[in-house]
Amino acid sequence: MSRPTDLVQGTLDLLVLKMLALQPMHGWAIGERIKQMSKDILQVGPGSLYPALHRLEGAGWISAEWSVSEDKRRVKFYSITKEGRKRLRQEAADWKRLSGAISSIVFES
């Protein structure tokens, strides 16, 4: 289990936005998808994931809707909003710059 402190502050928001930009999904699926796409390196626990979803919803980057999933369960589907996409582009650019800068320092020589 990865506690929120293990992820760089704000990275979780970026990951969640990115996942939802691919397609709308429910909470569990987002966590699974992150895990899968990171090849099991990143594991987001419910203690960080669900508060993050609520925070993003409150900020208006994502919206939520109750619906029925492919396995016929009533789930809360999250999807990214137009402003959320803009936000994602901006955060992704920021992340690229930041991680590039850190890498260039750490892996130099």
Partner 1 sequence: MRVLRSLRLRLTWLFRRSEVETDLSDELQDYIERQTERHVASGLSPESARLAALRDAGGIEQVKEECRDARGTAWIENTLQDIRFGWRMLRKKPGFTIVAVLTLALGIGATTAIFSVVKAVLLAPLPYKEPNRIVAVWTANPARDNQPHSSTAGDFAAWKQRSGVFEDLAPSYDDEKTLTGEGAPQLLIGYAVSANYLRILGVEPQIGRLYTDQEDRPGVPKVALLSDHLWRTTFHSDPNITGRAITLNGSPYTVLGVMPRGFNYPTTVEVWTPAAMTTASFDDFNHKYVRILGRLRRGVTLTEAQRAINMLEAEVAAAHPDTDTGNRVVLVPLREQLDGDIRKPLLILLSAVGLVLLIACANTAGLALARNAERQKEIGVRLALGATRLRLLRQFAAESLLLATIGGAAGMLLALAGTHLLLMLFPNDVANLNIPKVTQIPMDRGVFLFAAAITLLTALLFGIAPILNAMGSKGGSAMKEPARGSAASAWSSRSRSALVVVEVALSLMLLTGAGLVVASFNKVMNANLGFQPDHVLALEIFLPPNRYPGNDPGKTRALIANVVRKMNVIQGVESAAATNYLPLSGFWGTTAFLLRGQPPPKEGQGPQADNRVLTPNYLHTMKIPLLRGRAFTDADRSGGAQVAMINETLAKRYFHDSDPVGQELNLGTAGKPDWWRIVGVAGDVKAFGQDQPTHADIYRPFDQYPFSIIAFTLRMDTDPAAMMKVAEQALWSVDPDLAIFKSIPMDLLASQTLAVRRASSTLISGFAILALALACIGIYGVMAYAVVQRTQEIGVRMALGAQRADVLRMILGFGFRMTLAGVVIGLAGALAFSRLLASLLFQVSALNPLIFSFASVVLVGMALLASFLPARRATRIDPMQALRAE
Residue type, 54: H
In angstroms, give the least distance from the CB of 53 to partner 1: 8
Q: What are phi and psi of 73, to 5 degrees?
A: -115, 150
Q: Is the dihedral of CA 44, 50, 51, 52 positive or negative?
A: positive
Q: Which is nearer to partner 1, 39 or 82 (CB)?
A: 82
Q: How far is the CB of 106 from partner 1 (least distance, A)?
A: 31
Please give the radius of gyration of the chain, using alpha carbons only, rounded to the nearest integer. Answer: 15
Q: Which residues bind partner 1 (CB under 8 A)?
A: 1, 26-28, 45-47, 50-52, 54-55, 57-61, 63, 66, 73-76, 81-83
Nearer to partner 1, 68 or 101 (CB): 68
The residue (of 71 and 108) whose beta carbon lies closer to partner 1 is 71
Distance CA 109, CA 103 (A): 12
d(CA 102, CA 66): 40
- Shortest distance (Å) from residue 55 CB to partner 1: 4
Nearest distance from C-beta of residue 37 to partner 1, angstroms: 18
